[in-house]
Amino acid sequence: MATPSGLQLPREDLLRAYRMMCDIRAFEDRVHEEFATGTIPGFVHLYAGEEASATGFMMHLGNKDYIASTHRGHGHCIAKGCDIKAMMKEIYGRRDGLCGGKGGSMHIADLDKGMMGANGIVGGGPPLICGAALSAKTLKTGGVAIAFVGDGGSNQGTTLESYNLAKVWDLPAVFVVEDNRYAESTASVWSVGGSQLKRAEGFGLPGRKVDGQDFFAVYEAAQEAIERARGGGGPSLVHVETYRYYGHFEGDAITYRTPEETDEVRAQRDCLNLFRERVTAAGVLDAAQIDEIEAQAKALVDEAVAEAVAAAPPGEQDLMTDVYVAY
């Protein structure tokens, strides 16, 4: 359901939101293709399908706001403002990648942008976000901190403890459960006893569930939660129902779900399509603008891949650096 507030967004915000989503989609589709050719090393988890979630939240954030991401971090990184070319180089393991090639897809971070890192540990982020929120509160920066966590990660004790700590310390924090129906091959309808909203209530957090394919619904729920946190109203939880298009990681044969299920979401509930339909139907953006944004995103990603492929890897002199500030 379109929310009036969503469509009342200034044009430049609508353009910015669509650009974020297109950048993410183009990035992930292209990484998917490149991975298949064997040029990208390691474990890679793609965010395609979930773009409205990262975008709906990050539209409300600035550099003094922090987020902690998951293993499926590219979308959060891009939406939080990480440099796309430096990200691509990182995924390729290049020396001038965003993390010097030492982190890779699972550990992209940019603290200057308030991006505390993708995380290889499920449930790794929520405690860190309590800390970022504590910094904001103690140093009175006016910032908020957001932890993204998957449906699978919502069962990790570190996540659950963090709900309570944020409540007890009354932190400017938001927990976003991105429920894409699966944790690897395991369905969230099986793995999650109770429900995300009742869990929030269990720890005294206001909770809200949104259709994660609808950018405007996410945008509005995010606004409510972020404004509450920023205004001293304490932590809360948003349960985002979404879907990932690709496998758990690149290489997954996806035997645990049916292609029909995926096809249906792609055809009926794709967040980019829904956005496009909404804004063009309402006449606030026109098709040409939309097409241009899509084309720009693809071009940017093409360049990013070309540069990443051509970039130099780190070498022996880099192996032992960056372990300590001083040792």
Partner 1 sequence: MSRKTYRQAINEALAQEMRRDPTVVFMGEDNVGGMGAPGEDDAWGGVLGVTKGLMPEFGRERCLDTPISESAFIGAAVGAAATGLRPVAELMFVDFMGVCLDQIFNQAAKFRYMFGGKAVTPVVIRTMYGAGFRAASQHSQCLYPIFTHIPGLKVVMPSSPYEAKGLMIQAIRDDDPVIFLEHKVLYDDEEEVPDDPYTLPFGEANLTREGNDVTLVTLGRMVKFCNEVADKLEGDGIRCSVIDLRTTSPLDEDTILENAEETGRVVIVDESNPRCNIATDISALIAQNAFDALKAPIKMVTAPHTPPPFAPELEDLYIPDQAKIEAAVREVAAH
Tokens of 177: 């459960």
131 binds a copy of itself per the rule CB under 8 A: no
- Measured from the CB atom, the residue of 133 and 238 that comes closer to partner 1 is 133
Using the CB atoms, write b or e for 85-101: b if 16+ within 10 Å. Answer: bbbbbbbbbbeebbbbb
Neighbours of 312 (CB within 10 A): 10
168 binds a copy of itself per the rule CB under 8 A: yes
For residue 136, the Cα-to-chain-centroid distance in whole angstroms is: 21
Enumerate the β-bridge partners of residue 84. Answer: none
120 binds ligand TPP per the rule CB under 6 A: yes
Residue with the shortest CB distance to ligand TPP: 150
Range in contact with ligand TPP (rule: CB under 6 A) among 31-39, 83-91, 176-184, 230-238: 176-184
According to DSSP, residue 314 is labeled P
We find the least distance from the C-beta atom of residue 231 to partner 1, in angstroms, to be 18
In the range 248-287, which residues lie near ligand TPP by CB under 6 A?
A: 248
Query: Binding residue for partner 1 (CB under 8 A) from 1, 10, 37, 112?
Result: 112
- Measured from the CB atom, the residue of 84 and 106 that comes closer to partner 1 is 106
71 binds ligand TPP per the rule CB under 6 A: yes
73 binds partner 1 per the rule CB under 8 A: no
In the range 29-58, which residues lie near ligand TPP by CB under 6 A?
A: 45
- Measured from the CB atom, the residue of 66 and 215 that comes closer to partner 1 is 66
CB 235 within 8 A of CB 171: yes
256 binds partner 1 per the rule CB under 8 A: yes
Of the candidates 215, 160, 212, 152, which has an alpha carbon nearest to the alpha carbon of residue 184?
A: 152
Give which of partner 1, Mg ion, a copy of itself, none residue 53 binds (C-beta under 5 to 8 Å, depending on kind). none
We find the least distance from the C-beta atom of residue 257 to ligand TPP, in angstroms, to be 12
DSSP string, 216-253: HHHHHHHHHHHHHHHTT---EEEEEE---SS-SSTT--
183 binds ligand TPP per the rule CB under 6 A: yes
In the range 189-208, which residues lie near ligand TPP by CB under 6 A?
A: none
Sequence-ordered list of residues with C-beta below 8 angstroms from that of 217, at least 6 positions apart, any chain: 1, 3, 6, 56, 210, 211
- Measured from the CB atom, the residue of 54 and 183 that comes closer to ligand TPP is 183
Helix (H, G, I), strand (E, B) or coil at 36: helix
Whole-angstrom distance, CA of residue 257 vs CA of residue 189: 13
- Hey, what amino acid is at 187? A
We find the least distance from the C-beta atom of residue 156 to ligand TPP, in angstroms, to be 6
Give which of a copy of itself, Mg ion, partner 1, none residue 180 binds (C-beta under 5 to 8 Å, depending on kind). Mg ion
According to DSSP, residue 115 is labeled B
Query: Binding residue for a copy of itself (CB under 8 A) from 24, 98, 177, 192?
Result: 192
Sequence-ordered list of residues with C-beta below 8 angstroms from that of 223, at least 6 positions apart, any chain: 5, 60
Q: Edge-to-edge strand order for the sheet containing 236-241? A: 66-68, 145-150, 173-179, 236-241, 207-211
We find the least distance from the C-beta atom of residue 130 to ligand TPP, in angstroms, to be 17
- Hey, what amino acid is at 297? A
Of the candidates 116, 50, 106, 105, which has an alpha carbon nearest to the alpha carbon of residue 80?
A: 116
Half-sphere exposure of 32 (CA within 13 A, CB side): 17
Half-sphere exposure of 139 (CA within 13 A, CB side): 11
In the range 69-108, which residues lie near a copy of itself by CB under 8 A?
A: none
Give which of ligand TPP, Mg ion, a copy of itself, none residue 71 binds (C-beta under 5 to 8 Å, depending on kind). ligand TPP
Q: Which residues bind a copy of itself (CB under 8 A)?
A: 155-158, 160-161, 163-164, 167-168, 190-195, 198-205
Q: Which residues bind ligand TPP (CB under 6 A)?
A: 45, 70-72, 120-123, 150-153, 180, 182-184, 248
